[in-house]
A = this chain, B = another copy of it.
């Protein structure tokens, strides 16, 4: 009997889309000040940057989401995981409605193997069910009943709780999911 694939929920911002670099870039354009990633560790962006109101305004600026860089290794490893899991991209996009079409188009461009049936844009993730969730925000992982993978982002480096399994980048994700599911390491793509 063919066993059903496990459901893997993958966040966008800070997990596959490099929002931190966007913050740094937009902040430099607005103020001339170049922040380094090390300056941002362990703090939410609107505390890490000196001008919290300005920082929040970036999230409503056209292009913020559409032009984000792709997080290293996410494309090739997600392409592999897409064959092994019932995969969904789940993004809490609803607070910034202009981001809806930007995020959709960004996914089409950078993750063309993700079908429209695999995309969920929501406000809260608490009614999205699955077996694994990869997210950088505790509030999303805390409401989830499956395995909680905390994807390292500048704002969460201070979190040290056994409730979450920390993953430092996509090779960690691959290693961990493959181990947990007792698969052999696949290295066709990356």
Binding site for B on A (CB under 8 A): 7, 9, 88, 94-95, 97-98, 100-101, 104-105, 115-124, 127-130
Contact A120 B117 (CB under 8 A): no
Which chain B residues lie closer than 8 Å to A100 at the CB level?
Answer: 100-101, 104, 121
Report the separation of the CA atoms of residues A94 and B120 in the bound assembly, to the nearest whole angstrom. Answer: 8
Beyond contacts A7-B127, A88-B127, A117-B124: 8 other A-B pairs, Cβ-Cβ < 8 A, are A94-B104, A94-B116, A116-B123, A119-B122, A120-B123, A120-B127, A127-B130, A128-B128
In the complex, how many angstroms separate the beta carbon of A53 from the nearest chain B beta carbon? 20
Report the separation of the CA atoms of residues A51 and B91 in the bound assembly, to the nearest whole angstrom. Answer: 37
Report the separation of the CA atoms of residues A129 and B129 in the bound assembly, to the nearest whole angstrom. Answer: 6
Report the separation of the CA atoms of residues A116 and B124 in the bound assembly, to the nearest whole angstrom. Answer: 9
Report the separation of the CA atoms of residues A116 and B98 in the bound assembly, to the nearest whole angstrom. Answer: 13
Can you list 18 A-B contacts (CB < 8 A)?
A9-B127, A88-B127, A94-B104, A94-B116, A94-B119, A97-B104, A97-B105, A97-B116, A98-B101, A118-B123, A119-B122, A119-B123, A120-B128, A121-B121, A127-B128, A127-B129, A128-B128, A129-B129
Number of copies: 2
Chain B, residue nearest A117 (CB):
B123
Report the separation of the CA atoms of residues A94 and B90 in the bound assembly, to the nearest whole angstrom. Answer: 12
Which chain B residues lie closer than 8 Å to A101 at the CB level?
Answer: 97-98, 100-101
In the complex, how many angstroms separate the beta carbon of A95 from the nearest chain B beta carbon? 6
Chain B, residue nearest A93 (CB):
B121
Chain B, residue nearest A97 (CB):
B104
In the complex, how many angstroms separate the beta carbon of A16 from the nearest chain B beta carbon? 17
Report the separation of the CA atoms of residues A181 and B9 in the bound assembly, to the nearest whole angstrom. Answer: 32
In the complex, how many angstroms separate the beta carbon of A149 from the nearest chain B beta carbon? 17
